[in-house]
A and B are shown apart, each in its own frame.
Chain A
Amino acid sequence: MKTTVVIDPITRIEGHLRVDVEVEDGKVTDARAAGEMFRGIEGILRGRNPVDAQQITQRICGVCPASHAQAATLNLDNAFGVTPPENGRLIRNLVLGANYIQSHILHFYHLAALDYVDITAILKYTGNDPNLKRVKAWAQAEVDSGRATAVAPFLPRYKGDYIADTELNIGAIAHYLEALKMRREAQEMLAIFGGKMPHAVAILPGGASEKVTVDKIVAFKSRLRELRTFIDTVYIPDVLAVADGYKQYFGIGVGCGNLLAYGVFEEDVSGSKKLFPAGTYIDGAAGPFSDAKIAEYVKKSRYSSATGKHPSEGETTPDERKRGAYSWLKAPRYDKKVLEVGPLARMAVAHLTGGNDKASKLVTDTLKRYDAPVSALFSVLGRHAARALECKVVADRCAEWVAELKPGEPSHAKFEIPKEATGMGLTEAPRGALGHWITIKNKKIDSYQCVVPTTWNASPRDDRKQPGPMEQALVGTPIADPENPIEALRVVRSFDPCIACAVHMVTPDGRTLNEFRAV
């Protein structure tokens, strides 16, 4: 008996994603992921001043604007032929590092944990913690109101095997609240050198515009200290606690088994050495990365533009009625193969290529704790663990970068906009490999292309009918109740998909959910 289960829209991810899974005998046998919006950034940028790309591309996403700022400035550095001074490099790392910390904390506590933690346990709380008491009162008032939107965004939810222990749940809810505060700390930390948040203004071609002062260094350090304590004593232990309770998820959501990292966090101004190295892991072997092997396929995507193009030559011509197409995402491939991007790819590539000793040690120790082989990383829990451990590697390294800043030294190098040039900016957003490509003609943008992490991970089938990483990861997932496919949701969520950035609006007249809709 075959059932098709549609999960649409997927809750608590940043954007609109629809997943169709076919379930047979309690297992997923096939899956299709469809990004529901259209990417139009390229058309918006044509004809503008190249420097605008930094500000405009940040607006793609409210969660990881700093990553787009970073990709855009690396892209422009490359096109303008400018190298930032040491302070500029460090500030960029600190701003992006702060963005990683907030994004990873947001993902685990505010998006993913609610698939495991029973939020309704708060109603049974009998202790005296003022914050928990307030949440209990709020939840009770919401439930009593009987409103359609009561207790949103926590309810409605799928029925499923949530944590049963009230104490554990209450503890997790307390951490959920603490994590909200920590995210704010991280955002404020970002704003110290980023100028403001969201949409940092201070990362520019040639470096950064904020001056380095002792005051800023002190303010950054004190917030970072708090965040590092939280990561070490709350975040990582909580991820491990979830893993302890759901060990079967080390074997669920395996996926394509191939990884791609562009590398991120420049360790010298030339960009030749990075905290997380560039590299690939294909068919069980670690290897180098070359951007020339990237191509985007559109056979199953709603575009009439040419298929199999390198992003620098990419076009984006929407074709809403294209036959056989089911997604607004293109299908990026590397050497025609399907590769997964994200914290797992960065940590595993660092570990397998020996490119980062600290990352290696954390990965090895965690695998040892579960007596698990390296292959266990390719799983729902492997992704969550990699994300949490990466958060620690980044936060610890930020403490060293901030100490290397030199007050009074320049953080910016002058640049000239060339008449004609091309550029490429490769970095990593919290969710994975992010690339921007530019062609400049007559000092104006002639073409601009972005390939974002979720386009890799949530991509549809390509011209060779190969399903994307998330589609592959879903196959084999056990589904206890097709009415409540929480297991599939856990797999999807482990990728931390962000469709807002991969795509934009699809129907100009949108579904009116109600008499008011804040679109």
Chain B
Amino acid sequence: MAQPRTVVMGAGNILLKDEGVGIHVIRALKKDGALPPNVEVVDCGTAALDALQSLADVDKLIVVDAVRGGDEPGAIYRFSPEDIFEKRSESLSLHQLGLLEALKMAGMLGTVPKEIVIVGIQPEDVSPGLEPSPEIKRRIPEAVEVIKRLIQTEQGECKDGVLKRRKGRHVARV
């Protein structure tokens, strides 16, 4: 069986410290080296829709982004788009075509990768600055390890049993 085509996509704005953690993580992943040939790393910045449009023939997409899950800074989450679409009480971030809208539109176009996993990192400081805050920086290698494990898991394994209800919130702490 051919290796599944996998893309690791970093999303976010590197001008705002931890808001750019997704980009900093994929840069660390690239530096780490030793990625199998079926894995491509993409820096989509804040242009998620453009990136998703060119991912139609991808088997597995791992998105890395800053996510507010409400835990301590640097907490790492893992979930699927459905988890968010199901749970959001009000409509999606209304102010731009963000990651979630882009995923929706890709669904409409039928250009969605077979499997999507979102790896989120809880930000601490999103004020202007090119470097993540110290605590977030410290957790980047951990996020890289999580992604490397996700790259190796078989389809479906990522989604099973990772959601736990806690304090009324669905969180998938890694």
Contacts and interface: CB of A to CB of B under 8 A. Distances in A.
B120 A153 contact: no
A519 B68 contact: yes
Contacts of A199: 43, 45
Candidate in A43, A187, A198, A500 with the most chain B CB atoms within 10 angstroms: A198
Interface string B95-123: 11111110011011110000000101001
Contacts, number: 170
B99 A198 contact: no
Given A152-B101, A513-B93, A517-B67, A62 B87 contact: no
A177 interface: yes
B16 A504 contact: yes
B128 interface: yes
A514 B88 contact: yes
Given A148-B88, A152-B101, A514-B88, A519 B43 contact: no
A187 B86 CA distance: 32
A508 B17 CA distance: 11
Contact of B126 (A41, A505, A514): A505
Contacts of A44: 15, 128-130
Bin the interface of chain A by size: 35 or more
Interface stretch (A53-61, A205-213, A252-260): A53-61
Candidate in A40, A198, A515 with the most chain B CB atoms within 10 angstroms: A515
Contacts of A13: 95-96
Contacts of B83: 516
Nearest to B97: A153
Interface string B62-87: 00011111100000010100011111
B13 interface: yes
A211 B137 CA distance: 37
Interface stretch (A4-12, A230-238, A294-302, A483-491): A4-12
A514 B104 contact: no
Interface stretch (B32-40, B46-54, B141-149, B154-162): B46-54
Contacts of B152: none
A9 B110 CA distance: 29
Nearest to B111: A180
Nearest to B82: A147
Given A9-B95, A56-B130, A147-B86, A180 B53 contact: yes
Contacts of B110: 134, 138
A512 interface: yes
Given A149-B92, A516-B68, A41 B128 contact: yes
B97 A508 contact: no
B43 A187 contact: no
A65 B126 CA distance: 21
Nearest to B123: A519
A363 B102 CA distance: 35
Contacts of B11: 518
Contact of B16 (A16, A153, A188, A505): A505
Contacts of A17: 95
A153 B105 contact: yes
Contacts of A20: none
A40 B15 contact: yes
B131 to A, nearest CB: 10
Nearest to B83: A516
Candidate in A9, A41, A505, A518 with the most chain B CB atoms within 10 angstroms: A518
Nearest to A514: B88
A273 interface: no
A10 B83 CA distance: 25
B79 A516 contact: yes
Interface in A425-468: none
A139 B110 CA distance: 12
Contact of A504 (B15, B45, B77, B107): B15
A40 B109 contact: no
B84 A10 contact: no
A510 interface: yes
B9 to A, nearest CB: 12
Interface string B122-139: 010111111000000000
Interface in A482-510: 499-500, 504-505, 508, 510
B108 A43 contact: no
Contacts of B15: 40-41, 44, 56, 59-60, 504
A396 interface: no
A397 interface: no
A135 interface: yes
Contacts of A336: none
A516 B104 contact: no
Interface string A142-174: 000001110011011000000000000000000
22 contacts: A16-B95, A41-B128, A44-B130, A62-B44, A62-B48, A147-B85, A149-B92, A180-B53, A183-B50, A184-B50, A184-B54, A197-B50, A198-B51, A199-B43, A505-B126, A508-B125, A508-B126, A514-B90, A516-B68, A518-B65, A518-B100, A519-B65
Given A110-B97, A149-B100, A504-B13, 16 more contacts: A11-B95, A12-B97, A13-B95, A38-B128, A40-B127, A44-B128, A44-B130, A62-B47, A198-B46, A505-B128, A508-B127, A510-B68, A514-B87, A514-B89, A515-B171, A516-B68
Interface of B: 11-16, 19, 43-48, 50-51, 53-54, 65-70, 77, 79, 83-101, 104-105, 107-110, 118, 120, 123, 125-130, 169-171
Interface of A: 9-17, 38, 40-41, 43-44, 56, 59-63, 65, 110, 134-135, 138-139, 147-149, 152-153, 155-156, 177, 180, 183-184, 187-188, 197-199, 499-500, 504-505, 508, 510, 512-519
